Structure 1
Amino acid sequence: MKSIRLKLKQNLVNYKLPTSFQLKETYPLPPYSTVIGMVHNTCNYTEYKPMKISVQGKYHSKVNDLATRYEFKNGMTFDASRHQIKVGEYGISRGVSNVELLSDVELVIHIVPEDENLVEEIFNAFKTPHEYISLGRREDLVVVDEVKIVEISEE
């Protein structure tokens, strides 16, 4: 069975843990759904393409960073004692939050699309992407070290 093997690097990255709020914690590796989203975005897919994913990797260390946090509640009108930003008649609060970041991430990802005809298309999309590739948050850029079509066999 044919697969696309990606060797990727990222400098500082957060694969957000959905249950963390005060400190934006991170998974140690990107979840499968995040990788599948990266593939779909890179290939400009507008509908879901089933695929199997394998993720291997390591990171050097974890660090904490500060980030600007914006909060708004649906339909809450602007109140100067509560909100820092006014958009139309609505109010937005701006504050600071802590973000956990992984440094010097190295990943090896295998992608096996259910439709084997997509292998070449995914390979070409990563060889010549239409825009920068990110994995995790939008600002978590990826450096693609290698894109290769490999044969996978079950032993």
Structure 2
Amino acid sequence: MKQVLRVKIYQPDAHYRIPFSYQRRFTYPIPPYSTVKGLICNVMGIKSSEDERFKKLKQGLSLAIYGTYESLVKEYLWFRNLEKDSHISKFKSVKNRIIDNITQHPGEQMPVTVDVLHNVDLIVYVYHPELMEEIKEVFENPSDRLSTLHLGRAEDWIVIKEIDMINVIKDNVSQLSFFAWIPSPADIDDELIPDKENYKNFYSQVNGNLFRLPTYYEITDSNQRIFNQYIEVKLFEKGSFRKKDFYVDSELKIPLFFAKMRAD
């Protein structure tokens, strides 16, 4: 019987930013894979892509992510651009901060609306053929963590509610009361589905908006983070679907949709 790691997480507030949303910053209802992978690297104390444990993660990590939230609130903020060129463009001098005889903030600023989720409950399932026990241990005792444990923004700290190794069983289910990422047949972990053709049929029929979520990135010579690997998914927004056989959490009866994080 196969086992996977289940981590239950609570967040008072969270924002999982949808890329290319600026003046109104939209959020996913659950964190994308790259955000959860970043949390795992944080608790393991992995500082560099040259770390041997990171190389192992890239070759065997699979994730399944589920969640709910109580409410969504729009926060109104001022974002400031503190780049030197932006300041000069507005004030015509590095030292000047006065326009129309009024002292202003440095650089440009603009009002921004940020969507923030409140009272978020997440369930993250982790599978790795070699590192699951180590990942479980560092979640239980994150003594080597690189920063405060968070998901999304740095201020979106998390509470670890439960960490367990659980059994995976085969069952016939037709409902899911969580938001969930459902990977495409090309990105599902074949080891953790009973039948690939059955899954292809399920994926073609299940309702959900299509997304292309980033997983891995490279740092350019100019110190920019450029994502170069992606996973295609549907965002399932709770509800029922046509009954099929899945591998499920033996306790919670949640169908498990593991996406392969394995890098090319």
TM-score range, shorter chain: 0.7 to 0.9
Query: How many angstroms apart in 2 are the aligned matches of 1:99 and 1:145?
Result: 27
Query: How many angstroms apart in 2 are the aligned matches of 1:56 and 1:34?
Result: 13
Query: How many angstroms apart in 2 are the aligned matches of 1:77 and 1:27?
Result: 30
Query: How many angstroms apart in 2 are the aligned matches of 1:148 and 1:94?
Result: 46
**Residues 76-123 of structure 1, C-alpha deviation per residue, up to 9 Å, x if partnerless?**
17438449x97xxxx73344321100111101100112xx23111111
Which residue of structure 2 lines up, in the alignment, with residue 79 of structure 1? 88
1:1-155 aligned within 5 A: 1-45=2-46, 46-47=48-49, 48=54, 49-50=57-58, 51-72=61-82, 76=85, 78-79=87-88, 81-82=90-91, 92-113=107-128, 116-130=129-143, 131=145, 132-153=148-169, 154=194, 155=247
Kept in 2: contact 1:8–1:108 (CA 8 A): yes
TM-score of the pair, normalised by structure 1: 0.82
Q: Which has the larger radius of gyration?
A: 2
Paired residue type of 1:38: L
**Residues 36-67 of structure 1, C-alpha deviation per residue, up to 9 Å, x if partnerless?**
11111111123332311101110111101123
Paired residue type of 2:88: D
Which residue of structure 1 lines up, in the alignment, with residue 261 of structure 2? none
TM-score of the pair, normalised by structure 2: 0.50
Query: How many angstroms apart in 2 are the aligned matches of 1:56 and 1:7?
Result: 10
Asked which structure has the greater RCO (Cα within 8 Å, sep 6+), the reply is 1
Paired residue type of 1:139: E
Query: How many angstroms apart in 2 are the aligned matches of 1:76 and 1:147?
Result: 48
Paired residue type of 1:66: Y
Paired residue type of 1:118: L
Q: 1:68 to 1:42 in 2, by over 3 A?
A: farther
**Residues 130-154 of structure 1, C-alpha deviation per residue, up to 9 Å, x if partnerless?**
3531001111010100011223355
Q: How many positions carry a matched residue from both structures?
A: 147
Paired residue type of 1:70: R
Kept in 2: contact 1:6–1:110 (CA 8 A): yes
Kept in 1: contact 2:72–2:117 (CA 8 A): yes
Paired residue type of 2:118: S
Kept in 1: contact 2:5–2:127 (CA 8 A): yes
Kept in 1: contact 2:87–2:108 (CA 8 A): no
Query: How many angstroms apart in 1 are the aligned matches of 2:149 and 2:71?
Result: 23
What runs of 5+ residues in structure 2 fail to find an aligned partner?
A: 96-105, 170-193, 195-246, 248-264
